[in-house]
Amino acid sequence: MSGADNVVWLGTPAFPEAARTALADRRLRANLRRATGTIRDKRLAATAELDDWEELRETAAALKRRTLRHLDQHLLRLEETVTAAGGTVHWASNAAEANAIVTRLVQATGESEVVKVKSMATQEIGLNEALAEAGVRAYETDLAELIVQLGGDRPSHILVPAIHRSRSEIREIFQRQMGKWGRPAPEGLTDDPRDLAEAARLHLREKFLRAKVAVSGANFAVADTGTVMVVESEGNGRMCLTLPQTLITVMGIEKVLPSFADLDVFLQLLPRSSTGERMNPYTSLWTGVTDGDGPQDFHLVLLDNGRTATLTDEVGRQALSCILCSACLNVCPVYERTGGHAYGSVYPGPIGAVLTPQLVGVENAASLPFASTLCGACYDACPVKIDIPEVLVHLRAKAVEAKRRDRLLPTSEALAMKAAGAVLSSPRLLAALERLAASGARLVARDGRIGVLPGPFARWSGTRDTPAPAREPLRAWWRRTRGEGRTTTEGTGR
């Protein structure tokens, strides 16, 4: 099993096809429009409050980039400090290794169930499925994650995994499924948010009080103190992090920060960017184990799973600065219309389009770097200034290169690009093409408009009229009315 097998969901079609299905889903479209619209406005209001927002972004970006350059040192330091504080550090180079480590640790406790704090890293490695195979049941305790788990569904947003679900759907899932997983939903459950939250609360409370083992991810870990941090809104994470005897944290290696003071910057950026709040309701920090308080056995699993390979790419590695705030998803005009499932990956939206192909190899997610208009809204929203459009075009080049290398080219696109390249590099050929287009257009255009175009361009002309190419292109007009213009050797070159 190559480490990154779970990052992409097998069987999901390439983005354009998956998107087509999503676009036809009326309910999904309405849910997404409402949810992303609300969170956009909230984020803008929350970020506008800080005069030094841009400086904070700069600082965070610089800090992350610098940390990634010396990642090895920070990780070794983290291992030292966590160990000194009574924790145990494990290194996992891929998903299979990480799953094996966690499974072994759970089995050593003799337990057959764990409660989980919402975590992208454990989703990335498919931990729940791996635990299930070993006979261990993993209960998601984040409300949205619970909805996804009970619904036998997949998350469609980093922060709000059930963003594609409406209240009435959630009520229906609770009524149908809760009983199969534990305490059933109360009689006469309505779709009032308060009622739904209460149902989840009762259902989960039973799990919290019984659990001996918890599994979490981490938002940050501090190398100089060995402190690990989880940021959340509900307090369900706090329950998992404090009540059980054993705590196992799976964390991507890029989450380490050099010093405790660095948290200052990120605790300002993260809540404002992700939920549009000044501060998130629950911030849990722990350093190893503390006698008589909280879990007495703490394990930190450091996960590579494609990250070291990503680090070697000078342009692409900035994606590892991501703090998973999901601002880029919320502002993305493509995500807003397709939702997360179309990306076929644990990491959807703009960040997914740049992270997933790097973690799994661009040839295994080749449609994702193209799932963007390059409008740049993501870059402007990103609190750590990841230039997502830059990475997207970089990965597009890599995708084409990979096809060339694997001799999958020439495709019809590659041939067209080659021909276009020749024409567009030569003023003589370009002028000839312009003449040809103008005379061809005269045959098919009506009132200066062309209705139907051939071949792949039918996808364009299905919904748009196209103006006919000009009878006299500018270069011809100029020559006729004003002569050659400047004529240098380059100027008249072929």
Partner 1 sequence: MRIALFITCFNDMMFPRTGQAVTELLERLGHTVEFPQGQTCCGQMHFNTGYRPETLPMVRRFAAVFAGYDAVVAPSGSCAGMVRDHHRVVAAQYGDAALAEAVEQVVPTVYELSELLVDVLGVTDVGACFPHRVTYHPTCHSLRMLRVGDRPLRLLRAVKGIDLVELPAVESCCGFGGTFALKNADVSNAMLADKMRHVQETGAEFLCAGDNSCLTHIGGGLSRLRTGVATLHLAEILASTEGDGR
Only one residue has tokens 């010396």, namely 70
Residues 237-276 that bind partner 1 (CB under 8 A): none
Site string for partner 1, 355-394 (x = CB under 8 A): --------------xxxxxxxxx-xx--------x---x-
Binding mask 448-467 for partner 1 (x = CB under 8 A): -x------xx-xx-xxxxxx
Q: Is 326 in the site for ligand SF4 (CB under 6 A)?
A: yes
Binding-site partner at residue 487 among ligand SF4, partner 1, none, CB < 5 to 8 Å by type:
partner 1
Give yes or no for a contact between 283 and 231, defined as CB atoms under 8 angstroms apart. Answer: yes
Question: Judged by CB under 8 A, does residue 474 bind partner 1?
Answer: yes
Q: Alpha-carbon distance 131 to 134, whole Å?
A: 5
Axis-axis angle for helices 412-424, 427-444 (nearest 10): 120
Report, in Å, the least distance between residue 354 CB and partner 1: 14
* Residue 8 C-beta-side C-alpha neighbours within 13 Å: 25
21/373 with CB nearer ligand SF4: 373
Which partner in partner 1, ligand SF4, none is near 376 (CB below 5 to 8 A by kind)?
partner 1
Q: Which stretch binds ligand SF4 (CB under 6 A): 305-313, 357-365, 377-385, 403-411?
A: 377-385
Shortest approach of partner 1 to residue 415 CB, angstroms? Answer: 11
Given 322, 359, 377, 399, the residue binding ligand SF4 (CB under 6 A): 322
395 interacts with ligand SF4 by CB under 6 A? no
CA-CA distance, 109 to 123, in Å (whole number)? 22
**CA-based Rg of the chain, rounded to a whole angstrom?**
26
Least distance CB 464 / partner 1 (angstroms): 3
126-145: which residues touch partner 1 (CB under 8 A)? none
Among 96, 243, 325, 366, binds ligand SF4 (CB under 6 A): 325
Three state DSSP letters for 363-418: HHCCCHHHCCCCCCHHHHHCCCCCCHHHHHHHHHHHHHHHHHHCCCCCCHHHHHHH
Residue from the set 384, 391, 392, 402 that interacts with ligand SF4 by CB under 6 A: 384
Write the DSSP assignment of 129-166 as a string of letters: HHHHHTT-EEEE-SHHHHHHHHTT----SSS-TTTT--
Residue choice 351, 395, 402, 441 for contact with ligand SF4 (CB under 6 A): 351
Largest pairwise CA distance in the chain: 91
Burial-class residue 463 by CB neighbours within 10 Å (0-12, 13-18, 19+). Answer: exposed
In the list ligand SF4, partner 1, none, the entry touching 328 (Cβ below 5 to 8 angstroms by class) is ligand SF4
